[in-house]
Structure 1
Amino acid sequence: MFRAQRPRTARLTPWEGDGRVTGVALLLPGGFLRSRRRPLKAAELGLRELATGLADRGRPHGLAVHLLRYRYGGWNGADADTAADTHWALDELARRHPGAPVVLIGNSLGGRAAFWCAGHPSVAGVAGIAPWLPSGDRVEQLAGRRVLIVHGTADRSEASAARSLEYALRARRVVPDLARYEVPGGNHYLLRRTADINALTT
């Protein structure tokens, strides 16, 4: 007898705090263009220090920090699984913390999900760290949000700095409150400048 596999579900890490939540930071890790396997734990590790810093500074002000654990490790073409999971997370956060504004902070693949889902009514701002922003992705959903993009100039991955620059220039037409910073010589992972990037994002 074969045992039927239960469908995978996206999950939010717990909020380590108490009291009234006045705002939420939702962290979205990177991943692969295509993968039906479980997400790599290493993708979360890159955001762990940022999550800790946000939680420490935000706890006195009612900031809840959550990291989204996707169903799958990949975007997966038209299925856009990463964005679908992000939309689920935003609906769930609106249920848990009614009225609390959310800032999406996405790395690489998670950056694309953040920008795709920026039109959700709970979202007040979006930050992309080396975000994957292919040509042709919509920008209209950013209207009324605050936007930050940080990218290394030597990023030669699919999520290249040239693509995020092209996206930012188009987005400026609908969201004047947009800032894009370049890290000279930084590659896709930006490991040598983690502390600076975390401080800027926070």
Structure 2
Amino acid sequence: MTHDASPARGVRLGRAAGADGLGSTVSGAVLVFPSRSGPVLLSPGPVRRVIRELARAGGPDGLAVHLVQEADGDPGAAAEEAVRRYGDVPVCLAGYGTGGLAALRGAGHAAVNSVVALAPCLPDGEAPSGSPEPVNQLAGRQVLIVHGTNDGRAHPESSFRLAARAKKTNRSTCRFEVHSDGHRLREHRAEVAALTVDFVLGAVLGGRWSRPVTDALAAPPPLGLRMPLAAGFGRSLRG
């Protein structure tokens, strides 16, 4: 069921991939934040492939996937726009780079049930000597963080520290490490997309997670927060 109120102020979503609410029932929404430097879009990284794979895998079951083109500094407003369009459906906020940080920060909206942060660019406060990024908004959400171990732009240890703090109050937090990959996650883009799809279908559509995701969520820190993303992940999940 869609709403007819005016669009959320300052929010612009791209055209839906997968289910779009026009002649099909939307049962969940994924809002994908790209990496930005102010108004300038940076490298798309894995975003395009993630959107394409989510739409292909989840569209037939009612998953609508949107690229967030503008959120006016408030990532939670994107979730509000999804509620306006689709009504009371679970929303996943996903993002790459600075978009990963936006997804994490917007998780406090009541409609959000899950978050995916790919190579999130966390502020300097996440360093040992700084003030930590808040994690209270992640309580009650299912959270996946993915980071390349050779990321020279967004330090992987920053996302580990954030995940470790989040895990203390939210057991449904996991983090995967992509060994030898950099910020763009270029070398293992297929595996990153497959992991994201696996996590989102379980969190938003109630599907069954793969064994690696189940193990990562169940494992105590640091094991579940330094889970290696295996080469070829996803190939055995189809068929």
Q: TM-score, normalised by structure 1?
A: 0.82
Report SS of the residue matched to 1:113: helix
Identity %: 39
Query: Match of 2:34?
Result: 29
1:149 aligns with 2:145: yes
Q: Does 1:109 align with 2:98?
A: yes
Tell me how large the CA RMSD over aligned residues is.
1.8
Match of 2:168 in 1: 173
Q: Which residue of 1 aligns with 2:62?
A: 62
Q: Is the 8 A contact 1:118 1:141 kept in 2?
A: yes
Partner of residue 3, structure 1:
none
Structure 1 CA distance for aligned equivalents of residues 142 and 25 of structure 2: 24
Distance 2:33 2:156 in 1: 19
Task: Give the number of aligned pairs.
Answer: 178
Cα shift at 1:133: 2.5
- Secondary structure, counterpart of 2:187 in structure 1: helix
CA distance in 2, matches of 1:137, 1:88: 20
Structure 1, gaps ≥5 residues long: 1-7, 72-80
Instruction: Tell me how far 1:102 sits from its aligned partner.
Output: 0.5
For 2:133 and 2:195, the matched residues in 1 are separated by 25
1:112 is paired with a residue whose SS is helix
Q: Structure 1 residues 196, 154: CA separation in 2 closer, same or farther (over 3 Å shift)?
A: same
Displacement over 4 Å in runs of 4+: none
Contact residue 23 and residue 62 of structure 1 kept, 8 A = yes
> For residue 120 of structure 2, what is the aligned residue in structure 1?
131
Q: Distance in 2 between matches of 1:92 and 1:99?
A: 12
**TM value normalised by structure 2:** 0.70
- Aligned-pair CA distance for 1:44: 4.3
Q: CA deviation at 1:46?
A: 3.8
Contact 1:39/1:70 (8 A) holds in 2:
no
How far residue 31 of structure 1 moved from its aligned partner, in angstroms, is 1.6
Give the counterpart letter for 1:11 in structure 2: R
For residue 74 of structure 1, what is the aligned residue in structure 2? Answer: none
Aligned-pair CA distance for 1:195: 0.3
Selected match of 1:197 from 192, 196, 208: 192
| Structure 2 portions without partners, runs of 5+ | 1-8, 127-131, 198-239
Aligned twin of 1:185:
180
Q: Does 1:95 align with 2:84?
A: yes
Deviation at 1:20, TM superposition (A): 1.3
